[in-house]
Structure 1
Amino acid sequence: METVESPLKGKRVLITRAKQQAKEFVDRIEKAGGIPITAPLLEIKANNTNCQEIQGALENIKNYDCIVFTSANGVTFFKEYLDLWRIPYSSLDHLIAASVGRKTSKQMQTIGVTVSIIPEEYVAEKLTESISEHLPAKSRILVIRGNLARPALVTGLKNCGYDVTDLVVYETIHNLDEAEKLRNYVLQKQLDFITFTSSSTVDSFMKILNSEELRESLQNVTFICIGPITNKTLLEYGFKGFIPASYTIEDMVKLMTELIK
């Protein structure tokens, strides 16, 4: 009975995502009986260097046909800017809305936006395909993203003939203050799983691997990547990860339990 209720019992799982995003992951690992270890390698903050451009786009939102969010973080910071300049959520009612995935779509409900375009596979290329199937050519699209988001979506939409505004509403910064704590966990072989939820977290993590000793300590660790893009980045560093069937935190935890079984 204990195995069924606690499939991750005693397993130590490293969570590398930003502090603001880690709670759901921690809760799910604990519920499965695992031991979550948080080392936020990324810090997320509003892109206050771009306020004038953001304000201009939001105040002229009526000129757009479609709005696209590439992450739940994008929705959160977009909402903060709407509130800051007292722009009513109802000003978004006329827009066709597109989202990269379920979690982002759910977050979009907080600003009264119902998603009508969502890809079967949660990657930029598939989102571009889905939009092109539903939206007339030359439509005006507002893409809301973070500074480290891949350019594939914006490039793909422009190649399809859309008039695209690329709006960066938040910044993701590498947090190397966690490096020493991470080194100790790796060297003492205290980790069973290491999880990556973006290519950025992979890059930050690999910055601590400055010796062969650290790399050798990872030989028996299982890497779990949220999707193929993140796993591709991991492969470039010489490590291979496992990818869940659906690119969500919930399915990452499910995959870990399946690998144990």
Structure 2
Amino acid sequence: MPEHGSLLGETVIFTGTLKTLEVFDLVRHYGGVPVSIPLIQVNEVEEQTDETKMKNCANFDWLIFTSQNAVRAFQSKMERFAISVNEIPSKIAAVGTRTAAALEKIGFSVEFIPSVFSADVFVKQFKPTNGELNVLFLKGTLAGSIIREELPFEVKEWTVYETGAKRDSIDSLVDLLKNKRNCSVLFASPSAVRVFKEDAVPIIGWEGYTIGAIGHITERALIEAGATVDVKPEIYTLKELVKSLSKRKDEFR
């Protein structure tokens, strides 16, 4: 543990489901104490039509993934039905470097990533040169309609995972915020913001701790919920959010 650092004495709370402990190491590097208290839980959606839909993926020009959760659910279906990457010749688009890395880890080559890791920027920058396109968006139950509605061609959707509230985490989170002097709460999705607003805010409010948002969509959800966002990175990853938090705390020392 460092004897000094920009996050020394700071408890940094992650409210999303962590895909890697790399960000924990980064918090410790800056002297802070990382804590994972997920407010949402993610499960694969399984249906009787899954095998048919998996085999049909080969008929799409592009597959679009906006989260690692979608990649994980898709991989599970590939393994369950013994479908290899070679059987899916579609081009792949990913929103975010982490999502792209998850796809590449299972053998896909990612052909397109937007400059800002959000759906609203994706639809502005995703402009394949092909004419008529057959596109499939692999999504979760809480995904917005922007990709389907704003891309200039027909987009079919397949819901491969579901997101639900993990309300048994609220008591632990509230206790931490009540009893620790220096806390930062980091939000990686509007879904986590929604659960926090409904279950934690009536008890502790929005004051007394630092609030971080991974990107402008989550920032907007926080502002609409009544919060003041203290930290938002230019690059929308948890690692960059921790770096931005460290920089902010250093400036206020």
TM-score (norm 1): 0.88
**Is 2:214 aligned against 1:258?**
no
Moved over 6 A (4+): none
**Structure-1 residue corresponding to 2:123:** 128
Equivalences for residues 153-232 of structure 1 within 5 A: 153-157=147-151, 160-162=152-154, 164-209=155-200, 211=202, 214-215=204-205, 218-232=206-220
Alignment counterpart, residue 151 of structure 1, candidates 114, 134, 145? 145
Distance 2:129 2:161 in 1: 26
Counterparts of 1:14-53 in structure 2 under 5 Å? 14-18=13-17, 20-21=18-19, 23-48=21-46, 51-53=47-49
State percent identity of aligned pairs: 26
Q: Per-residue deviation at 1:210?
A: 5.5
Task: List alignment gaps of at least 5 residues for structure 2.
Answer: none
Hey, what does 1:138 align to over in structure 2? 132
Q: Is 2:3 aligned against 1:9?
A: no
Q: Over aligned residues, Cα RMSD in angstroms? A: 1.8
The Cα shift of 1:135 comes to 4.3
Deviation at 1:200, TM superposition (A): 0.5
Q: Which residue of 1 aligns with 2:50?
A: 54
Partner deviation per Cα, 1:168-201 (whole Å, 9 max, x = no partner): 1111110101122222222335442110000011
* 1:228, distance to aligned residue in structure 2 (A): 0.4
Q: 1:235 to 1:22 in 2, by over 3 A?
A: farther
The whole-number CA distance in structure 1 between the counterparts of 2:178 and 2:7 is 22
Q: Residue type matched to 1:243 in 2?
A: K
Offset of residue 70 of structure 1? 0.6
**C-alpha distance 210-251 of structure 1, shift in aligned 2 (>3 A):** closer
Contact in 2 for aligned 1:15/1:22 (Cα 8 Å): no
Partner Cα distance (2:57, 2:180) in 1: 52
How many angstroms apart in 2 are the aligned matches of 1:76 and 1:173? 17
AA aligned opposite 2:219: N
Deviations 1:51-102 (A, max 9, x none): 234322211222111111111111111011001000111012x212111011
Alignment partner of 2:248: what SS?
helix
Shift, 1:36, TM fit: 1.2
Moved more, 75-84 or 202-211: 202-211
| 2:104 maps to 1:96 | no
TM-aligned CA deviation for residue 30 of structure 1: 2.0
Identify, as 1 or 2, the structure richer in helix: 1
- How big is the shift at 1:45? 1.0
Match of 1:108 in 2: 103
Per the alignment, residue 234 of structure 2 pairs with 245
Structure 2 length as normaliser, TM-score?
Answer: 0.91
**Cα distance change, pair 165–245 in 1 and its aligned pair in 2 (3 A):** same
SS at match of 1:180: helix
Corresponding pairs, count: 248
Q: Distance in 2 between matches of 1:238 and 1:200?
A: 15
